[in-house]
Amino acid sequence: MCSIFPCPTPKAVRFKRRLLSLFSVLFFLIPFSSSAKTDLVMWYSLAGHLGAEVKRLATDFNHSQNDYTVKLVYKGEYIEAITSFAAAFRAKQPPAIVQVFEVGTATMLYPSGIIKPVDELMQEQGFNLPKDHFLPALRAFYSEENRLLAMPFNTSIPVIFYNADALAKAGYSVFPETWDEMEVLAAALRKAGYACAYTTAYPAWVQIESFSAIHGLPMLDAERAVVSYNNPAIIRHLERLKKWQQKHYFEYGGRTSDATVLFTSGRCPLFSQSSGAYNSLSELVSFRLGVAALPLDTQVSSRRYNNVTGGAALWAVAGQKAEVYRGIAAFFAYIAQPNVQQHWHQETGYLPLGISGVYAGLAQESQHPVLRLAQADLMGQQAKQARVNFGPQNQIRAINDEALEAIFSGIKTPAEAVRDAEKHANYALMRFVRITKE
């Protein structure tokens, strides 16, 4: 009996049997791996075109092998990301990899147990990084006792971008090398009809941290846990900028990158910013774009020391499973490949990991103008260290930004602002030492 439904016809029965046979064959033909791909969750903070390049990097790695999948999660700006990471780590739900800006380095190192050092990770998993061929200052920044702690990722240095058409109008074909010479240029630009000559993004990074670094001035004394930038050289430099502001040579544009529009609009022909901004700026401006190293104050030093390294690094997070660590090591080894570095550098404007050794061909082939500046600012092996990875650097930068804002708004003199910043920074350092020792 076929109950209340009509009985299937012989033709339908034969079709059903053939269909089942086909499914059986397909089932055994489909390859099954003994285990699924291991997910590597990575939090990142680059948006727009740069974010698209991060996605491309992850996708290319995922397609290059069959064992691991990098799963990207955008966590907002650097400050938002490191704040979210701290909460996730406390809740024991952190990602496997996190991108952290350079002033978050100490936060990742103290207290111990937050990260898996990169050298240790690579050695345990049987991978090698050509770290001896990394830019010396870059390798040193993310190392402790010659042990690489994080994987440098999007690296930049502070530079001066300039409107080459404006400089030509003022009679210049070569950018000045000193601050005194730049003051003469600023006067010439004003005479040529420009409303201002110079502006800056990230003023605390450029005008205090980078200025200290290239002149060989320490930012802090790690042994005593106090800052050391309340010195005559810094105060004199900030007094110069204040004087320039009064003469309309300099225009303050805010704590982060708000000053960009002052440059791209043509108002201020000189603009200090991260070298990583070159590609995006070249698409925004209608004039010929030039780029030069930050000038020296020869009254402070006639010798140029290593600059600060901006940008961010990738950190392997502690507490991951062995298969996850092997995947992270494979991903870091992939990132370090010269051809991967070449594409990353050309498409983002960030500096490659190195320009010598295995990366020598990259340096020879690259036409990117910031690479020459990196060679001058990051290749030196100087014994005198301009910066130490110690303390709440992100807090200290915010304190210094507040001080600069007070100077350019006329609330405090440079000496008063730096003195107050020193007090606040030393208090932040004291709290940092107390908390990390508990």
pLDDT in tens, 336-371: 999 999 999 999 989 999 999 999 998 888 888 888
CA distance 400 to 424: 9
pLDDT for res 202? 96
Beta strands in 245-342 (DSSP E): 270-274, 289-293, 310-317
Q: Which pTM value belongs to this model?
A: 0.85
Strand intervals (E) in 248-288: 270-274
Please compute the mean of the pLDDT values over residues 5-19 and round it to a whole number.
52
> Phi and psi (nearest 5°) for 200?
-145, 140
Residue 215 contacts residue 302 (beta carbons within 8 Å):
no
For the CA atoms of 44, 47, 53, 54, the dihedral, rounded to the nearest 10 degrees, stands at 10
Q: Which domains does the chain possess?
A: 38-156+310-378 (3.40.190.10), 158-308+391-437 (3.40.190.10)
The Cα 165–Cα 192 span in angstroms is 12
Q: How far apart are CA 162 and CA 92, in angstroms?
A: 47
- Of 164, 160, 262, 157, residue with least CA distance to 213: 157
Give the pLDDT confidence of 312-335 residue by residue, as tens digits.
999 999 999 999 999 999 999 999
Q: Which residues are registered as beta bridge partners of 72?
A: 42
pLDDT in tens, 86-131: 999 999 999 999 999 999 998 899 888 999 999 999 999 999 999 9
How would you label 158-169 residue by residue, b for 16+ Cβ within 10 Å and e otherwise?
A: bbbbbbbbbbee
Report yes or no: 308 and 101 within 8 Å, Cβ to Cβ. no
Q: Residue 397: pLDDT above 60? A: yes
Residue of 81, 57, 82 whose CA lies nearest to 70:
57
What crossing angle do the helices spanning 48-64 and 322-335 adopt, rounded to 10°? 110
